[in-house]
Amino acid sequence: MSYQNYNIFALQGDNQTSDADVCETLGLDPSLAGTPAINEAAISKMHRKNYDGYLNKGIDPEEALRRADSLADAT
């Protein structure tokens, strides 16, 4: 399949990471590949994973959310 990669890595010059790779790695809908929507979906998925990870480390929910938000905002 040939399409433009819109994932944040490709946009920053990484020609090794395809949108299909990002979809597969994060378990995203493959129809996001080749669309700008891939980044919002990836950020949202990672936000949830980060939040859950912080909770699993025993961090209180409010702080976990603050940290996950901070990482998502930085992206």
Q: What is the mean pLDDT of each run of 10 residues along the chain (75 residues)?
A: 85 93 97 96 97 98 98 93
Q: According to the model, what pLDDT value does residue 1 have?
A: 52
In three-state form (DSSP H/G/I as H, E/B as E, the rest C), the secondary structure along 9-28 is HHHCCCCCCCHHHHHHHHCC
